[in-house]
Amino acid sequence: MDVIAHTVDAKGQSCPGPLVALARAIKDAEPGELFELLATDPGSRSDVPSWADLSGNELVDAETLEDGSFRYVIRKVA
Amino acid sequence: MATTEAEVPTTSLTDLLERVEALEAEQRNQIKKKNKLTIIAWGGSLDQIWPTTILATTAAASGMEASVFFTFWGLFAIVRPGVRITGENWMQKMMSVMNPGSAQKAKLSHYHFAGAGPAMFKKLADDHHVAKPDELIGLANDLGVRLIPCQMTMDLLGLKREDLIDGLEEPIGAATAIAEMRDAAVSLFI
């Protein structure tokens, strides 16, 4: 099973904070590495898929956690 | 009896190939880059420079090329913090007094209330952990957004290169700005 290589905790940050944090973390990663993004910004529900689409990375999983925050799993492609 | 097909003028394969080639050449000339955003930052007010910097940083974070061309009031947003009066003559100096430099000092276009409006906005931004324009300009720089001042407005307002923040590209003119916009799939004037 694939292992999450990095966790980006962007809880509390608003647009575009979580995306910028994710983009910075993912920049120097190897293709195929998995990232976990934690966020509380409700806008991230539409923004993270859009970001994946624009940047050419793969959104593997998106879920709302019990505390109402959001968790995304992204695979670095390019 | 002649069939319908026979009445249709036949196009030779060479003709078709020539047309395909011509279309391909035409397409190559349409040099829009899908992955490029260009913003003309004309407005220097807080409620303009804020979306400008949010969109530019987000585009760069999404792997797009992004460039921001600062002109007119937008130029005051990239004046170095602490630089007070700029310009050589009284008109240019008065402009700089009316438009205090740097994104931190940007005024709201509505509800400015002698600075109370922006102060409230920034308090709300802090409460909601939204990065402010001056932070976003720094971030844009880190993310490789090309920040380009307009040479003509600099001359007009008497702004010198040393009056502006670090990390900017060389000042350019309108034609280069248009070339930037022509290349970009998304061009905005804010």
pLDDT at A8 (0 to 100): 96
- Domain membership flag for residue A73: no
* pLDDT tens string A26-71: 988 999 999 999 999 888 998 899 889 888 899 999 999 999 999 9
- Domain membership flag for residue A55: yes
Place of tokens 């460039």: B67
Cα B54 to Cα B80: distance, rounded to the nearest angstrom: 20
pLDDT at B33 (0 to 100): 61
CB-nearest partner of B62 from A12, A15, A55:
A55
If you write DSSP's letter for every residue of B122-162 in order, what string do you get?
A: HHHHHHTTPPPHHHHHHHHHHTT-EEEEBHHHHHHHT--GG
Asked if ipTM goes beyond 0.85, one says no
- Domain membership flag for residue A76: no
Report, as residue numbers or ranges, the catalytic residues of A.
15
Q: Contact A55/B139, CB-based, under 8 Å?
A: no
- Domain membership flag for residue A23: yes
Strands B33-41 and B146-149: unpaired
Cα B79 to Cα B162: distance, rounded to the nearest angstrom: 9
Widest CA span in chain A: 32
pLDDT at B95 (0 to 100): 82
Reported as a pLDDT band with limits 50, 70 and 90, residue B72 is very high
| Host domain of residue A38 | 4-63
Check CB contact of A24 with chain B, cutoff 8 Å: yes
* pLDDT tens string B130-181: 888 999 999 999 999 999 999 989 999 999 999 999 999 999 888 888 888 8
Reported as a pLDDT band with limits 50, 70 and 90, residue B64 is very high
* pLDDT tens string B79-92: 998 887 888 888 88
DSSP 8-state class, residue B168: P
- Domain membership flag for residue A69: no
pLDDT at B54 (0 to 100): 95
pLDDT at B29 (0 to 100): 66
pLDDT at A34 (0 to 100): 95
Structural domains of chain B sorted by starting position, each given as residue range(s) with its CATH number in brackets: 36-189 (3.40.1260.10)
Number of domains chain A is built from: 1
CB-nearest partner of B62 from A15, A24, A51:
A51
- Domain membership flag for residue A36: yes
Q: Contact B139/A22, CB-based, under 8 Å?
A: no
What is the total residue count of chain B?
190
What CATH number should be reported for the domain holding residue A38? 3.30.110.40
pTM, full prediction: 0.78
Check CB contact of A5 with chain B, cutoff 8 Å: no
- Domain membership flag for residue A75: no
- Domain membership flag for residue A78: no
Tokens of A5: 């290589």
**Phi-psi label, residue B107: left if phi above 0, alpha if psi -120 to 50, beta otherwise:** beta
Q: Contact A15/B129, CB-based, under 8 Å?
A: no
Spatial neighbors of A22 by CB under 8 A, at least 6 apart, are: A8, A10, A35, A37, A48, A51, A74, B61
